[in-house]
């Protein structure tokens, strides 16, 4: 389906964000994928080159206003506008409030929440020129029911739920929703497995995590990407200001 033909998207992050970028490109969108890790950016570039997708890779620190402004400007200049933003960039420090340093706390808030503000603040004027658009923010089930030892991350994801509702109030024909995944097979989950299940291999930890979900397994980035594709499409034209869980029944 070329449901996104003629649309231009910016997608941040190289985990779930990469799967979403690929899905949008498969749907006909021109996609600018932004990541800060060189190895992940190179993987995205290889994916785009081997598949022939309209997927362009930009190195971008999403906490840097100048870098974000540059990517938006380049996107609009090269492709004529901007229709879709997916904010998936995130970091996941471990620790309670007492254990988390102030720099780690502030960095988590700036990457996970502040970047969404920056993208909206700088990109909404471009979306207005197109008559509207779509913003999708990647939150987490941790924003609803957090485990111990992830104070900064869980707080940031709860803030994304609120920021999504705030952004949805804008009367600009811009729909804004968030997605809250459960356990998804990503490098971030692998790091969590290494931290919280040190007596298990990563794959064995994934099996344990999967047992907490109704299907008996963890999810895939592609499953999250399908929900993002729906929310970005005209099929979701009356969906805004909401959070959509793709958590395998974890919170049920």
What is the structure's pLDDT at 188?
A: 84
What is the structure's pLDDT at 135?
A: 98
pLDDT tens sequence across 141-189: 999 998 889 999 999 999 999 999 999 997 789 999 999 999 999 888 7
More confident residue, 37 or 119: 119
Helices (H), 34-139: 38-51, 65-79, 102-109, 115-129
Mean pLDDT confidence for 200-223:
92
- Is a pLDDT exceeding 90 seen at residue 235? yes
What is the structure's pLDDT at 195?
A: 84
What phi and psi, each to the nearest 5 degrees, are found at residue 31? -120, 130
Active site residues: 153
pLDDT tens sequence across 32-60: 999 887 777 787 778 777 777 888 989 99
CB 60 within 8 A of CB 12: yes
What phi and psi, each to the nearest 5 degrees, are found at residue 219? -90, 175
| pTM (two decimals) | 0.94
pLDDT band at 233 (very low <50, low <70, confident <90, very high): very high
| CATH, range 8-182+222-246 | 3.40.50.720
- Is a pLDDT exceeding 90 seen at residue 137? yes
């Amino acid at each position: 389906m070329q449901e996104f033909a003629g649309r231009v998207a910016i997608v941040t992050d190289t985990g779930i964000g990469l799967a979403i970028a690929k899905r949008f490109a498969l749907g006909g969108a021109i996609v600018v994928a932004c990541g800060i890790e060189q190895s992940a950016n190179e993987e995205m570039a290889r994916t785009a080159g081997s598949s022939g997708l309209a997927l362009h890779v930009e190195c971008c620190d999403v906490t840097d206003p100048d870098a974000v402004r540059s990517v938006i400007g380049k996107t609009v200049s090269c492709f004529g506008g901007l229709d879709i933003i997916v904010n998936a960039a995130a970091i996941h420090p471990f620790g309670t409030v007492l254990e988390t340093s102030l720099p780690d706390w502030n960095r988590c808030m700036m990457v996970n929440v502040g970047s969404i503000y920056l993208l909206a603040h700088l990109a909404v004027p471009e979306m207005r020129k197109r008559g509207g658009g779509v913003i999708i923010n990647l939150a987490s089930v941790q924003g609803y029911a957090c485990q111990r030892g992830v104070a900064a991350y869980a707080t940031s994801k709860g803030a994304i739920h609120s920021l999504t509702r705030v952004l949805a109030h804008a009367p600009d024909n811009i729909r804004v929703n968030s997605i809250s995944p459960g356990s998804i097979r990503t490098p971030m989950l692998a790091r969590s497995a290494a931290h919280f299940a040190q007596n298990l291999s990563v794959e064995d930890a994934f099996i344990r995590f999967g047992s907490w979900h109704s299907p008996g397994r963890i999810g895939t980035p592609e499953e999250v990407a399908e929900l993002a594709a729906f929310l970005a499409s005209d099929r979701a034209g009356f969906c805004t200001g909401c959070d959509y869980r793709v958590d395998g029944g974890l919170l049920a």
